[in-house]
Amino acid sequence: MRPNPPPSLFSTGRTIRALRTQVAAATGSAFAHPFQPGAVAVVWGADGVTVAALSRLGRPVLTVAPGPILSPYDTPATGMASLRLTLDGAPMGGVPADPALADRLAHLRLHGRNRFSAGAGTVAEIEGAALILLDGAENPARTRAFVAGVLARHPQVDFVAAGPEGCADLAPAPRLRVVRAPVDPWAACTAAARVFTGDAASAGTARLAGADVVEADPPTELDDAYGAGIHWFDPWTRAPIARAECLDKVAWLRARFRDNDRPTVLVGISRWKRPGLDAFTTGPFGPPIHAMAAEDAVYRAPPGARVLAWATRMPERLEALCAEAGLPLWRVEDGFLRSVGLGASLQPGASIVVDDSGIYYDPRQDSRLARILKTAAFPPDLVARAEALRRLVVARRLTKYNVGLSDESGSWPTDRRIVLVPGQVEDDASVRHGSPVVRSNRALLAAARARNPDAFLLYKPHPDVEAGFRPGRIPEAETLALADRIVGGLSIVDLLDRAHHVETMTSLAGFEALIRGLTVAVHGRPFYSGWGLTEDLAPDADRGRRLALDELVAGTLLLYPLYLDPVAMKPCSAEQLLDRLSAERDATAPSALALSRRTLLAMRARYAVLNPIVRLLRARRGVGPGAQDASPMAKTPDKADPA
């Protein structure tokens, strides 16, 4: 009989404090003060000393341990997909295992923390062998004792020890070969002649894989591993969910983890960006290696590695050195749904693009996005998902940066066509290389007025320019000689709600206008032009293919970028990121830049005093316009898309 939930709980350590919301949701019990009458101590499973001490005092103990199936990104700090709860040694809660669970596990081939590659490890070493399958999450002393016991009970058999977490802590012995690298337990069990397991999950995997399980310690059934005492959670939100739903979500995260199927070296990543980039690029070979200089990156790259460089900070020599060393080189940049706040204010991004041939804002060389839009098939289900995503972005009033104030004064003309002209950072690579005729904010504003002589012209300075961080400012008197109103600091969504038409060089505001049904005239060659959706004014803008709007959205927002849940710090879908951005934006007081006055002053000082020093140091590493002359794709100064 399973025990009833305790009336209240109290934490006994940092790990349990990190898991409080999940434990409370699983038990239905609230956390209270340790001296609350009837409060039960909650202990992390590995803390045997605390459990023993509390037991001697006669206090009930609720033990919490990792569940049998976790995503590769799970930690107590980021949330666990499953937890095992026992109250004074008896399982608490859980749903009994059933045949549908066995079929689902066999289909998804999930096991443990799922940090192994598909078919990972040296399966040839295991082929036809007697396999000791080790989970890797067990106590090392218990693991060694189990292996020693198997060897003692079978003195005539040679064994191979392997597991999904690797066996780095297990020493080889007579009759025992040790596979130190992680192996896919499903592939290993299929290859082995016989399997010996020391935990319930491994025994379940071996049986589901069709292996001959000779010995399991302790003897287990599927319910022991996946039923009694096991609670299942959404890996991102930590909310309790059904077991089948949890397994599907873990499988999605495992697939994303496996995409990083080789060691990664990251180049030119600022320290404040590294936690997010690490989450994007960690895979079966572990976290990425960080380097700033080209020579250091190539020297430190392990065999089979790839190099990912932040596009605007790529050292001049990196491309040639990678080619010489046979290392694949990809460029990285922020995605199109990024954050609540500007990158210039050191607000980390929640999406990136990883491009193996160029970068989306530089039309001199086809980027991966350009290839997708030129050649990809867009099946109906993908287009339907893109349409739903587009409608959700519009309904939730989301953009790339999600900053700006609303103007509710009502003083907007009703008898004139309203044209929005978004300014840009004038040394932005997309302007320098993607707008061959109109290349400054002053020239853009003049061209927009000439093309729309009777319109009510709105000029929105780029937020970084307005804040004094970047070049591109037009004197106010000069601006008002061409524009009817300067709308700096206002939300781009608020302005697009009022505008009928947008005139731009290469601004992302043009794409954001398209998805909201506005007409867009483009003086440059941004990624969204040339597909029959914009009025293209630059020479050679036509791409040779016509796209529907939701096909453009599918390529741009679904097939090209990667997304990160900025709260759970795990990869996620575009739709999940919209939930997080909406919540963060709604919880943030509206402001022109999503910056406090103190932060704004500090950032201005940083850009005025520290950035010249930083640029000098970058130039010495071969980064920046003054250092880069060899590769056309290396001539990109700092990128700053407007929103």
Handedness of CA 42, 47, 50, 53 (dihedral sign): positive
Measured distance CA(527)–CA(511) in Å, rounded: 9
pTM: 0.89
Q: Are residues 73 and 132 in the same domain?
A: no
User: Domain containing 135: what range?
Assistant: 99-226
Q: Give long-range contacts, CB 8 A cutoff, 24+ apart: 540-545.
A: 543/370, 543/373, 543/374, 544/374, 545/373, 545/374
CA geometry: angle 532, 535, 540, nearest 5 deg: 75
Is 418 within a domain?
no
In a domain, 56, yes or no: yes
- For residue 12, tell me if it sits in a domain: yes
pLDDT of residue 350: 94
- What total of structural domains would you count in the chain? 2
84 forms bridges with which residues in the sheet? 65, 230
Higher pLDDT, 147 or 99: 147
Residue 290 falls within a domain, yes or no? no
Same domain? For 200 and 60 the reply is no
Q: Are 575 and 385 contacting, i.e. CB atoms less than 8 angstroms apart?
A: no
- Please check whether residue 639 is in contact with residue 431, taking contact to mean a CB–CB distance below 8 angstroms: no
Tell me which of 197, 217, 249 is where a domain ends. Answer: 249
> Do 156 and 59 fall within a single domain?
no
pLDDT by residue (tens digit) across 487-517?
A: 988 889 999 999 999 999 999 999 999 999 9
Q: What is the pLDDT of residue 606?
A: 60
Looking at the structure, do residues 25 and 74 belong to the same domain, yes or no?
yes
Task: Answer whether residue 625 shows pLDDT above 60.
Answer: no
pLDDT tier at 315 (50, 70, 90 boundaries)?
Answer: very high
Six token digits for residue 62? 């609720």
Cα separation, 481 vs 446, whole angstroms: 10
pLDDT tens-digit readout, 251-294: 999 999 999 999 999 999 999 999 999 999 999 999 999 999 99
Cβ atoms 316, 629 nearer than 8 A: yes
Residues listed for the chain = 643
Residue 201 maps to which CATH number?
3.40.50
The percentage of residues in the chain with a pLDDT greater than 90, rounded to a whole number, is: 65
Of the three residues 218, 249, 280, the one that is the final residue of a domain is 249
Residue 534: DSSP 8-state:
S
Taking alpha carbons only, the member of 110, 150, 112, 146 closest to residue 130 is 150
Regarding whether 109 and 48 lie in a shared domain, the answer is: no
C-alpha distances (whole Å) from 573 to each of 229, 383, 570 are 30, 16, 10
pLDDT score of 12 more than 90: no
Last residue of a domain, one of 226, 258, 293: 226
Distance CA 179, CA 166 (A): 7
pLDDT band, residue 194 (cuts 50/70/90): very high
Q: Are residues 143 and 55 in the same domain?
A: no
CB 86 within 8 A of CB 63: yes
* Structural domain includes residue 519: no
254, part of any domain = no
Q: Would you state the structure tokens that stand for residue 354, as one six-digit string?
A: 């990883």
Q: Which alpha helices (H) appear in 409-466, and where do they start and end?
A: 429-434, 441-451, 463-466
Task: Output the CA–CA distances (angstroms, integers) from residue 609 to 463, 469, 602, 614, in the order listed.
Answer: 20, 11, 10, 9
Query: What does the angle CA 189 – CA 137 – CA 65 come to, to the nearest 5 degrees?
Result: 120
Q: What is the rounded average pLDDT of the residues 49-72?
A: 82
Does the pLDDT at position 83 exceed 60? Answer: yes
Residue/partner pairs of 174-180 with CB below 8 Å, 24 or more apart: 175/151, 176/132, 176/147, 176/151, 177/125, 179/121, 179/122, 179/125, 179/126
From 350, 329, 337, select the one nearest 264 (Cα to Cα): 329
CA torsion through residues 290, 295, 296, 302, sign: positive
Q: What is the CB-side half-sphere exposure of residue 19 using CA atoms within 13 A? A: 32
Q: Could you report the per-residue pLDDT of 535-578, keeping only the tens digit for each?
A: 999 999 999 999 999 999 999 999 999 999 999 999 999 999 99
Peptide bond into 632 cis (omega under 30): no
Residues 12, 158 share a domain: no
Whether residue 430 is contained in a domain is answered as: no
If asked whether residues 235 and 88 sit together in one domain, one would say yes
pLDDT tens by residue, 401-460: 877 777 766 688 999 999 999 999 888 888 888 888 999 999 999 999 999 999 999 999
Q: Higher-confidence residue: 144 or 409? A: 144
pLDDT at 219: 60
| Residue 77, pLDDT above cutoff 60 | yes
Q: What is the DSSP string of 279-335?
A: HHH-BTTBSPEEESSHHHHHHHPPTT-EEEEEGGG--TTHHHHHHHHT--EEEEEE-
120 and 213 housed in the same domain = yes
State mean pLDDT over 388-400.
95
Are residues 220 and 111 part of one domain? yes
- C-alpha atoms less than 13 angstroms from C-alpha of 14 in its C-beta half-sphere: 2
Give the Cα separation of 510 and 504 in Å (integer).
Answer: 7
Q: Residues 90, 122: one domain?
A: no
Q: Are residues 10 and 126 in the same domain?
A: no
81-90, 461-470, 599-608: which range is least confident on average?
599-608
CA 350 to chain centre: 6
In a domain, 479, yes or no: no
Alpha carbon distance 82, 94 (integer Å): 11
Q: Which amino acid is at 475?
A: P
Give the DSSP letter string of 223-288. Answer: HHHHTTTEEEB-TTT--B--HHHHHHHHHHHHHHHHH--S-EEEES--GGGHHHHHHHH-BTTBSP
Quick one: pLDDT band at residue 610, thresholds 50, 70, 90? low
Output the pLDDT for position 252: 98
* Residue labelled with tokens 């060897």: 151
Average pLDDT across the chain, whole number: 88
- H-helix or E-strand spanning residue 586: helix 574-587
pLDDT of residue 635: 37
Query: Over 90: is that where the pLDDT of 605 sits?
Result: no
